[in-house]
Amino acid sequence: MHNGGQGEFPKTQTMQPSRNHLSEVLEKIQDRLIYYRDIGIKEFYGKLEESMTVPKKHKETLEDIRSDIGDCTRCKLHHKRTHIVFGEGSPKAKLMFIGEGPGHDEDVTGRPFVGRAGQLLTKIIEAMKLKREDVYIANIAKCRPPNNRAPEPDEVATCEGFLHRQIATIQPKVIVCLGSVAAQNLLKTERKISSFRGQWQDWQGIFVMPTYHPAFLLRNPAMKKEVWDDMKKVMELLKKGDKK
């Protein structure tokens, strides 16, 4: 506004954000970073994988993740699969088992670990004084690799964002990796399973116990003792508290 005909430089309205507004924004950024950490994102570059982008306000559910997967054709395993084996069990499980990928029986039924190896896993779970419904069971790959081969790196990469989201949603206290494919892919290591089974590992702040796969136990029953030793460590941790 002019004053007495003399031009006056208008007072600048500096739009200072309020402290409250700033701390709200910072809180949102922090929440988002924690979320990305929880679903396994370690660095940002380029376009995020579709399976990793979940800008949702609410904490997502397992149903949300299953519906994002849809009738998946993202990798070549879809050509020969019968069913996607998403995983099953308690969404609040303290204990999660991760295997390699569906075999014939799992492909036919759409459920994880229901064949011979699965029956042995069920016995192990029951020996731990738990039921299958108390734990959560999933796999590195959700579709059956042909001839029971291990899932290939591109197949693992396509599927793992969904598994990481399942873990972030369930937030188990302990993950048991069944066999080298599960342990090496979750923990991003090439170490032989025999060199680190039975030793606590960490994945995003969750305790991870690598152990032998039940199918390996069917071929090598003498190794059941080692697996049972590993499961005793798991039971102790679940009972006690957070001490390693």
Contacts (CB under 6 A) with ligand URA, residues 58-77: none
- Size of interface with ligand URA, in residues (CB under 6 A): 13
Q: Taking CB under 6 A as the rule, does residue 172 contact ligand URA?
A: no
The least distance separating ligand URA from the CB of residue 241, rounded to whole angstroms, comes to 30
Q: What mask of x and - would describe binding to ligand URA in positions 109 to 148, judged by CB under 6 A?
A: ---xx-x-xx--------------------x---------
Within 13 Å, how many C-alpha atoms sit on residue 52's CB side?
A: 22
Q: Which stretch binds ligand URA (CB under 6 A): 12-20, 34-42, 95-103, 221-229?
A: 95-103
| Measured distance CA(59)–CA(37) in Å, rounded | 14
Smaller CB separation from ligand URA, 51 or 139: 139
- Of residues 103 and 172, the one with the C-beta less far from ligand URA: 103
103: contact with ligand URA by CB under 6 A: yes
DSSP 204: T
Residues 238/95, Cβ–Cβ less than 8 Å: yes
| Residue 102 touches ligand URA, criterion: CB under 6 A | yes
DSSP string of 145-165? PGGGPPPPHHHHHHHHHHHHH
Q: How far is CA 20 from CA 16, 57, 91, in A?
A: 11, 20, 36
Contact segment (CB under 6 A) with ligand URA among 4-12, 88-96, 105-113, 162-170 equals 105-113
Residue 106 interacts with ligand URA (CB under 6 A)?
Answer: yes
Residues 204-223 that bind ligand URA (CB under 6 A): 215
> How far apart are CB 100 and ligand URA at their closest, in Å?
3
CB of 85: closest distance to ligand URA in angstroms? Answer: 6
Residue 196 pairs in a beta bridge with none
User: If you compute the radius of gyration of the chain from its CA atoms, what whole number of angstroms results?
Assistant: 24
Burial 69-99 (b: 16+ CB within 10 A, else e): eeebebbebeeebeebbbbbbbeebbbbbbb
Q: Rounded to an integer, what distance in angstroms lies between the CA atom of residue 5 and that of residue 108?
A: 88
Q: Which residues of this chain interact with ligand URA, rule CB under 6 A?
A: 99-103, 106, 112-113, 115, 117-118, 139, 215
